[in-house]
Amino acid sequence: MIDPHVHLRDWQQAGKETILHGMTVAAASGFTHLFDMPNTAPPCTDRDTIISRLADGGEGSEKTGVSYHLYAGLTADCDQIHEMVEVHDELFPLVVGLKMFAGQSTGNMGIIGYEKQLGVFKALAEAGYSGVLAVHCEKEELMNPSLFIPGRWETHSLSRPAKAEVESVNDIVKAAAEAGYKGTLHICHVSAKGTVELVRELRKSVPFRITMGATPHHALLTAEDAKVHERYLKMNPPLRSEEDREAVFQALVDGTIDWAESDHAPHTIADKENGASGIPGLPGMLLLASRLRDAGCSENRLDEIFGKKVQSVFSLSDSGPSVPQDAGTIYEKMAGEYPWNPFSC
């Protein structure tokens, strides 16, 4: 199996998790590849930092047998974008793709506003980039932090509404088309029914490939769960309505959403008590696999969701064994590797 969206922390955030621990959990869970995100501390937005991160990931690979890959982070600077394209082309598949944050999240790497986002796509087109660009889509102008009510953690979804995701996706696809982007555009951690419906239509009219990923928490949990489990279910994008959750789950089954991705983002208990966004998501991939199987998802589709489609889009080596039949049992064991289990906290 492949998890194409993890935040393995380490470095200045080693208290949350080390690369080796995350890769050890992944290996015991049946994963053969992990794609690490660049909003590390310090961020992976220059060649030297990326080389250092790959060295640490390589050590983890040697000890666990899990293949480590990294997204290079983009800024709004054209020279930096060209450098990241060069790094990608030189080091692929270790540097597996590029990552843009279209709204602020953990790490403050947001590229805010349509003109700056259009500039990113123009620079990528100019550099001849044909790989995968993964985008965290939340439109900053539609976020309203004042709607978050302290102590009522479900209101996090009001401060970062579904509309912010949908409109951001629309902007990003428009900018890519306007700039003549030639690569694959990946929409990360889709959380809203409106996004599923929008991308289903946009795919019919653009000359580039659009893929989508969904997390276990957006497919299995809702903002109602955050009423009970409070800050321990705070993440970006937030949990949403039952209608949104059902749309995400069904889109995984029918193939509209291409694959599952954990958005694994562990914190300490102290971090969560202070309102940090993110949850340990690796074990939840196994729970999602079990729930999808229970819902009648075919074994062939499960293999696509948890590795084969990622393998195809990124032109990787084999994604490893099929989804284990005892995924639910492995999930229960692996969930204990973290300070809390967001799926039963």
Among candidate residues 291, 286, 233, the one with its CA nearest the CA of residue 262: 286
Question: Please, is 242 exposed, middle or buried when counting C-beta atoms within 10 Å of its C-beta (0-12, 13-18, 19+)?
Answer: exposed
- What SS3 class is residue 35? strand
β strands within 102-244, DSSP E: 132-136, 184-187, 209-214
Helix (H, G, I), strand (E, B) or coil at 4: strand
* Pairing relationship of beta strands 2-6 and 259-260 according to DSSP bridges: unpaired
64 alpha carbon, distance to own chain's centre: 22
Gap between the Cα atoms of 293 and 291, Å rounded? 5
Query: What is the C-alpha to C-alpha distance for residues 210 and 188, in angstroms, rounded to an integer?
Result: 11
Distances from the Cα of 145 to the Cα of 148, 151, 158, 215, angstroms: 6, 14, 8, 23
Given 263, 294, 303, 326, which residue is catalytic?
A: 263
Cα–Cα distances in Å, from 181 out to 3, 117, 123, 139, 184? Answer: 26, 12, 9, 20, 8
Q: What is the DSSP letter of 254?
A: H
> What beta strand segments (E) does the chain contain?
2-6, 33-36, 67-73, 95-101, 132-136, 184-187, 209-214, 259-260
Q: Annotated catalytic, 263? A: yes
If residue 6 lies in a helix (H) or strand (E), which one and from where to where?
Answer: strand 2-6
CA angle (104, 106, 109) in 5-degree steps = 50
Positions annotated as catalytic residues are: 263
